[in-house]
Structure 1
Amino acid sequence: MKILHFLLLSLLVTTLVLFHKASNVYARRHHHISNKQKNNKTLAPLISPVYAPARSPDYAPSIPSDPSYGPAANDTTATSCIFDVTDFGAVGDGDTDDTAAFKSAWKAACQVENGVVLAPNDFTFVITSTIFSGPCQPGLVFQVDGVLATPDGPDCWPESDSHKQWIVFYRLDNMSFTGTGTIEGNGQKWWDLPCKPHKGPNGSTLPGPCDSPAMIRFFMSSNLVVSSLRIQNSPQFHMKFDGCQGVTIDKLSIFSPKLSPNTDGIHIENTKSVGIYNSLIHNGDDCISIGQGCADVEIDGVTCGPSHGISIGSLGVHNSRACVSNITVKNIIIRDSDNGLRIKTWQGGAGSVSGISFENIQMENVRNSVIIDQYYCLTKACRNETSAVYLTDVSYKNIKGTYDVRSPPIHFACSDTVACTNITMSEVELLPYEGVLVDDPFCWNAYGVQETLTIPPIDCLQDGMPESLAENVVSTGC
């Protein structure tokens, strides 16, 4: 019996010792957590930066603009490291300069795969003009859930900072700019500068420094996703893409007052394979503007207005060559705008605009609803030139609604020497917003066809092709 008691007591002591050792090991494992591990938080699924657009481009671009492209997009088990800017010293009180904290968070996130720079909600962060550059590891996310703001106007802008841009994303691949927050431009004091249009006495424009910063610029980057943010009150352009390839923009809200000067919503140039989807743009200039060097662009499900509509151009300034091709604009609403669907070029340019499709467009009180202007000029001193950017293969289908009667609803002013060709009109019905008089369209040296009876009838569109075209269109070089 004594032997049995001894064995049982030994077993109990051994069990207690082992349990105590295991507890100490567990405690030590959770007591020593490095500062680096604190910043490497796991990204919750609810703030995943990956969004699938409601529609995918009909074409197959060389670098897909669909954000589901790439191995990480569909891998929901992939973990991401969050670098919260408040962990790097950002205050977020709407007054303190948090630029250094954002730069430090960016530098850390750039070095890891699927890194996230997080500007959390319930904070207002102010940063000065900054370039966030790469190359970085793939899957980088810049996520704004709070408010990210510029300094408050020209007087608060650091003298050493560029007055032409605020945030620049440079040389990045497979990066997302997203979040549930707001990007605030504090543009009012820039718009009120006396050098801005109609701000001087009696509507004049006064001399003096007049540079105003574009708000967000992507430069020399690829495979980009921009989604879900509210971007407002930019001093100048809200968002620019230059020298990029493979861009998806989805579910953006862009807001500035109707009379804010030069506040284009989205501007792209020298950029290919672009999809712009399901967004709302209310601003003082072009809703979306497409500059030279753009190809394979789809704009689908966007509401514009008030604005200056959707513009291709201006192209060919200072006798330059411009090439734009394969642009699809569909399922669009344009309201209370100075222009609707516009293509504008300067005299003396070269190159071509081709493969343009406008389809399923609803107009509400739009001036210059459908316009091609190859005599674009900002002053009265522009000379007549014989060369021009060649426009061909432009289609308008199912364009309906009302127009502002101050201008004809359809205006095709093509170059004297280089005609516009292969313009196609189908199911175009535009009626006056006020009154009953339907204005006649205007055409000059424009060739094409009405596939259906349009309202108003476009009797001025010429059939066939001009005999002199081959002589004046030497080589577009596109």
Structure 2
Amino acid sequence: MKMNKRPLVGAVWAITFLVISTSSVVEGRYHHYHKRQKKVIGNSPLAVEVFPAAPPALSPSLEYSPDPSHSPQTSIPSSPAAAGISAPPTVPSDPYPDPRSSGTSCIFDVTSFGAVGDGTTDDTAAFRAAWKAACAVKSGTVLAPSGLSFMITSTIFSGPCNPGLVFQVDGLLMPPNGPDCWPKTDSVRQWLVFYRLDNMTLRGSGTIDGNGEPWWDLPCKPHRGPNGKSIPGPCDSPSMIRFFLSTNVAVSGLRIQNSPMFHMKFDGCEGVFIERLSISSPKLSPNTDGIHLENTKSVGIYDSMIANGDDCISIGPGCSDVDIDGVTCGPSHGISIGSLGVHNSQACVSNITVRNAVIRESDNGLRIKTWQGGTGSVSGISFQNIQMENVRNCIIVDQYYCLSRACRNETSAVYVTDLEFRNIKGTYNVMNPPIHFACSDTIACTNITMSEVELLPHEGQLVDDPFCWNAYGTQETLTIPPIDCLLDGMPQSLAESSRYGC
């Protein structure tokens, strides 16, 4: 487990204490890899806004546009130019020490504001009142104490607030039990929203449980209708935790489970630090991505375990400078960049590093997926030191991503370049070839580097026919299975392809 450096400011004489953490809710493999660098984004003081009012520029529901595979992106900002893939991106470290240990925190226990914590009483009003009080002071803490179960409805915890705000969950936090119990006036797309905050931390030794099963069983969900076919119609389900238009936020130590849809979303954020999370839902729970990023920059995700029914971590349009280290995924759909370019939109993703990860019992391992007809680019992507265990598609680039047979092959595509796969080892499920590069007919994938890739069948015979289509790259070492289908050099149309960059 990585220990953060926490500065102690004193008088002339100072004594250094070694603070040893003795509790963790996350079971499993943690690492001691790379030192995180702190990135400070803005220091201006923030005024206090009375909860839960939102600025008039935002719609009251704060509705989230779902994954690009389900709806178009109306505004996707361009990412910065891709950095080189030889070094990991600069990411923030934990922006604040534990205020309880420093004696500087004002703790607002929700039970002091009327929360009952019996698992059935609606404690929403108490949480809102505690938030309002903590927001108004420096280093305030909203505390949901251990030993109690709090049920709250869909809520927007809005800023700006004074710096150092902490939302501490040591007990159990949960929403109403399913769509039949969901208040008709509440958004069915989101549950807990943290909006327009700076220097805020969500943490604790407790559990946030989404009571997702009644939502998964809706007949409009995949494989839930008659004969395994979903029934068309409205099928909105709430994501559990969403950070929206926020900076310098940290999430650590929690157990987050059974989300109706995505477990965590970061949308329009900059400076995100995530560590020591346990995220879990059943393997067949639909659309339950573990962590989803969109239009979000400078992100660090460390030493966490994610098991769910969809992407372990999904990286959408407008993301850059993302460092993922020491994450264990599975069962899941792996770590995915995309889907990108839906409905001919522009998508820009750059400088993504994934290292020291385990992916097990998953449909996919490392995946990039784009729609035909999009523009933009995916560049500066590095996968290093990845262990695969019984994964169907270990390495896959799919530029023909489509959810129906109605998709047509189009001339434009998101340009995929500068991909690095180093020390990728383990076993694959022989239902599919372990390596699959399906690139656009007109916009080739370029600068693919393969080194120390050794993938063997989990059971059965070796599948030695990796698939490549219009993919250019090199093998620095012999690869198992051999990848003879990569094209040498660069395509003649590269100059024309460059117009798809960001």
**TM-score, structure 1 as length reference:** 0.87
SS of match in other structure, 1:215: strand
| Aligned residue number for residue 273 of structure 2 | 248
From 142, 148, 157, the equivalent of 2:173 is 148
Residue 304 of structure 1 aligns with which residue? 329
Deviations 1:286-308 (A, max 9, x none): 00000010010000000000000
Deviation at residue 438 of structure 1 after TM alignment:
2.5
Task: Report deviation, 1:473.
Answer: 3.4
Where do 1:314-325 residues align within 5 Å? 314-325=339-350
Q: Which has the larger radius of gyration?
A: 1
1:249-398 matches, cutoff 5 A = 249-398=274-423
Query: 8 Å contact 1:422–1:447 — kept in the other structure?
Result: yes
- Tell me the C-alpha RMSD between the 2 structures: 2.2
Higher helix share: 1
* 1:8-27 paired onto structure 2 within 5 Å: none
Residue type matched to 2:122 in 1? D
Q: Paired residues, what number?
A: 431
Partners of 2:36 and 2:360 in 1: how far apart?
26
**Correspondence for 1:66 among 72, 81, 92:** 92
Summarize deviations over 1:242-286 as a string: whole Å, max 9, x none: 000000100000010000000000000100000000000010000
Q: Contact conserved, 1:65 with 1:223, CA < 8 A, in 2?
A: no
Letter in 2 for 1:93: D
Selected match of 1:232 from 257, 262, 269: 257
C-alpha deviation, 1:357, in angstroms: 0.2
| Structure 1 counterpart of 2:442 | 417
Partner of 1:214: 239
In structure 1, distance between residues paired with 2:363 and 2:205 = 31
Displacement of 1:469 in angstroms is 1.8
Q: Which residue of 2 aligns with 1:431?
A: 456
1:47-84 alpha-carbon deviations (Å, 9 max, x no partner): 999xxx955567785747433446x6799645100000
- Tell me, yes or no, if the aligned pair for 1:344 and 1:373 is still in contact at 8 Å: yes
Matching of residue 467 in structure 1 with residue 500 in structure 2: no
Q: Is residue 387–residue 472 contact of structure 1 (8 Å, CA) maintained in 2? A: no
Change (3 A) 1:46 1:301: closer
> What amino acid maps onto 1:406 in structure 2?
M
Query: What amino acid sits opposite 2:92 in the alignment?
Result: D
* Relative contact order higher in (CA < 8 Å, ≥ 6 apart): 2
Instruction: Measure, in 1, the Cα distance between the counterparts of 2:191 and 2:134.
Output: 21
CA distance in structure 2 between the partners assigned to 1:48 and 1:455 by the alignment: 41
Question: 5 Å matches for 1:164-203?
Answer: 164-203=189-228
Change over 3 Å in CA distance of 1:45–1:301 after alignment to 2: closer
Q: Which amino acid aligns with 2:254?
A: L
Q: Is the 8 A contact 1:67 1:73 kept in 2?
A: no
For 1:328, give the aligned amino acid. Answer: T
Match of 2:479 among 454, 461, 470: 454
* 1:407 aligned residue: 432
Q: Distance in 2 between matches of 1:225 and 1:465?
A: 42
Unmatched runs of 5 consecutive residues or more in structure 1: 1-43
- The percentage of aligned residue pairs carrying the same residue is 74
Q: Is 2:448 the partner of 1:440?
A: no
- Match in the other structure for 1:103: 128
Please list every run of at least 4 consecutive aligned residues from structure 1 whose deviation after the TM superposition is greater than 3 angstroms. 44-49, 53-70, 72-78
**Kept after mapping to 2: 8 A contact 1:54/1:277:** no
Question: Residue 295 of structure 1: SS of its match in structure 2?
Answer: strand
**Structure 2 CA distance for partners of 1:469 and 1:450, relative to 1, 3 Å:** same
What amino acid is the match of 1:66? P
Distance in 2 (alpha carbons) for counterparts of 1:266 and 1:415:
28
Which position in structure 2 is the counterpart of 1:223? 248
Give the equivalent residue in structure 2 for 1:204.
Answer: 229
Report if the CA contact (8 A) 2:94-2:273 is conserved. Answer: no
Amino acid corresponding to residue 302 of structure 1 in structure 2: V
Deviations 1:17-56 (A, max 9, x none): xxxxxxxxxxxxxxxxxxxxxxxxxxx998999xxx9555
Correspondent of 2:116 among 71, 74, 91: 91
Residue 474 to residue 46, structure 1, CA distance change in 2 (3 Å): closer
C-alpha distance in 2 between matches for 1:103 and 1:69? 24
The structural deviation recorded for 1:424 is 0.1
One-letter amino acid matched to 2:283: K
